[in-house]
């Protein structure tokens, strides 16, 4: 009945796969002390995906709609040795994910 399947799984030959999962909640960069409005359940979900699809290592991303209060990627969250969770905005008008800049935490880049 229940499947452990992310919204997107990107696999490239010779490279580690990574999981992307989209959410339709609003988050707020100003709420850093309250985890930006992110939920623990979302972190558990992505942690489980990392173990099923990536052997517990690599990069994962939660994607939320871009707003005035969430316009750039958040610093990555360390979920364990070799496992990073990125939180990225999706610009609905431009229909694109806003990726982290090179050097912003040794994350993934397409």
pTM, to two decimals = 0.85
Place 44 in a pLDDT band, splitting at 50, 70 and 90: very high
- The pLDDT of residue 9 is above 70: yes
Cβ-proximal residues to 37 (8 Å cutoff; 6+ apart), any chain: 25, 26, 27, 28, 31
Query: Taking Cα atoms as reference points, which of 39, 27, 42 lies closest to residue 73?
Result: 27
pLDDT at 109: 44
- pLDDT, tens digit, 9 for 90 and up, residues 62-79: 999 999 999 999 999 998
Query: Taking Cα atoms as reference points, which of 25, 37, 42, 44 lies closest to residue 74?
Result: 37
pLDDT at 70: 93
């Amino acid at each position: 009945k229940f499947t452990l399947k992310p919204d997107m799984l990107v696999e490239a030959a010779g490279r580690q796969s990574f999981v992307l999962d989209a959410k339709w909640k609003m988050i707020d960069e100003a709420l850093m002390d309250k985890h930006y409005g992110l939920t623990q359940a979302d972190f558990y979900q992505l942690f489980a995906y990392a173990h099923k699809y990536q052997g517990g290592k690599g990069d994962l991303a939660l994607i939320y709609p871009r707003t005035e209060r969430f316009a750039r990627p958040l610093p990555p969250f360390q979920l364990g040795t070799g496992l990073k969770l990125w939180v990225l905005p999706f610009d609905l008008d431009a229909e694109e994910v806003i990726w982290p800049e090179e050097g912003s935490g040794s994350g993934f880049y397409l």
